[in-house]
């Protein structure tokens, strides 16, 4: 039986910092990412792909606001914007992956699944928005937008500017996990839990409703990996390895760390919220509850033997 991998793509897999976000940019980035994913397929992995949507959902919200202001088009709530992003990002990844598969004389079906994720409407995250979305702004721009619209902004830990932050509740239940696992284990590639999933809750018994939030895609991907009994969990980001004392003269890369070490570094504040911290929590969750490894690395190092940081049980 082939092994099953869940691969969580960072937002930079489609849109890198500094890019305008044109369709050409996103297709080119998606092709490069898809090309690297074939390394796992050639190593006899079946695959479920998840992806971020921070830049894209922020741009959708900007377009929403502009359409409302200029043409009185009704603005859509954040859960609908997440659904929009799942559809078009899934389409781009699927299309470029098909192009890559053809170039490598490989043949697999690729299925994109619009995915709802159940959250608790009373999650404390709704009182402390912390999940960054959308483009980067200067301090002056962020202060002006905050004053005009009441949005909250936070400084990017890598010094790229300021981004809008929204609530990011904990994912509790992912829809259609049985089907996702079945399709993937049959050898097809599944794209699911885009942007962490569309956040929803039961407003009353037997009635689901969306809620204004963005779920962290790494935490949701970790939960999905557990529910479908994945053999390996890859978290792809824009740095080769996890670092201690990041972006300082004392910076040190980590090749391997146990979940106890990872938790200690988290408690020490080594990993920034909105950046590496959620990835570390997701890795701990998967390893602790599965006993299997998680690898955090840069897309270009996927499948490289000594590439990335391996998070292990002990």
Residues marked active site are found at 11-12, 131, 217, 279
Measured in whole angstroms, how far is the alpha carbon of residue 291 from the centre of its chain? 22
Q: What distances in angstroms separate CA 24 from CA 20, 82, 99, one per listed residue? A: 10, 21, 15
The 3-state DSSP class for residue 2 equals coil
By DSSP bridging, strand 256-258 and strand 309-312 are parallel
The 3-state DSSP class for residue 235 equals strand
- DSSP string covering 256-304, please? EEEHHHHHHHHHTT-S-TTTTHHHHHHHHHHHHHHS--EEEEEGGGTT-
Closest CA to 238 of 275, 281, 263, 272: 275
- H or E, element range at 216: none
């Amino acid at each position: 039986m082939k092994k099953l991998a869940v691969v969580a793509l960072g937002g930079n897999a489609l849109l890198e910092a500094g890019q305008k976000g044109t369709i050409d940019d996103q297709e080119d980035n998606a092709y490069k990412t898809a090309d690297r994913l074939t390394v796992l397929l050639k190593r006899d992995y079946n695959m479920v792909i998840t992806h971020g949507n921070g830049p894209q959902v922020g741009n959708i919200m900007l377009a929403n606001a502009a359409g409302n202001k200029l043409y009185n088009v009704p603005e859509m709530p954040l859960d609908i914007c997440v659904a929009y992003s799942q559809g078009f990002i899934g389409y781009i990844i699927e299309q470029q992956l098909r192009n890559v598969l053809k170039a490598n004389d490989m043949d697999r079906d690729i299925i994109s699944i619009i995915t709802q994720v159940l959250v608790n409407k009373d999650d404390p995250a709704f009182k402390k928005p912390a999940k960054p979305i959308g483009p980067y702004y200067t301090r002056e721009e962020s202060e002006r937008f905050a004053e005009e619209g009441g949005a909250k902004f936070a400084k990017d830990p890598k010094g790229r500017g300021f981004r809008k932050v929204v609530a990011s509740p904990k994912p509790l239940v992912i829809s259609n996990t049985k089907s996702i696992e079945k399709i993937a284990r049959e050898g097809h590639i599944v794209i699911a839990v885009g942007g962490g999933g569309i956040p929803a809750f039961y407003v009353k018994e037997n009635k689901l409703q969306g809620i204004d939030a963005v779920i962290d895609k790494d935490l949701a991907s970790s939960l999905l990996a557990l529910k479908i009994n994945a053999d390996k969990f890859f978290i792809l980001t824009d740095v080769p390895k996890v670092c201690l004392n990041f972006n300082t003269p004392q910076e040190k890369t980590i090749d391997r760390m146990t979940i106890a070490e990872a938790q200690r570094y988290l408690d020490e504040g080594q990993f920034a919220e909105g950046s590496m911290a959620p990835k570390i929590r997701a890795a701990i969750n998967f390893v602790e509850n599965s006993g299997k490894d998680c690898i955090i690395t840069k897309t270009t190092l996927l499948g490289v033997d000594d590439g990335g940081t391996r998070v292990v049980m002990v």
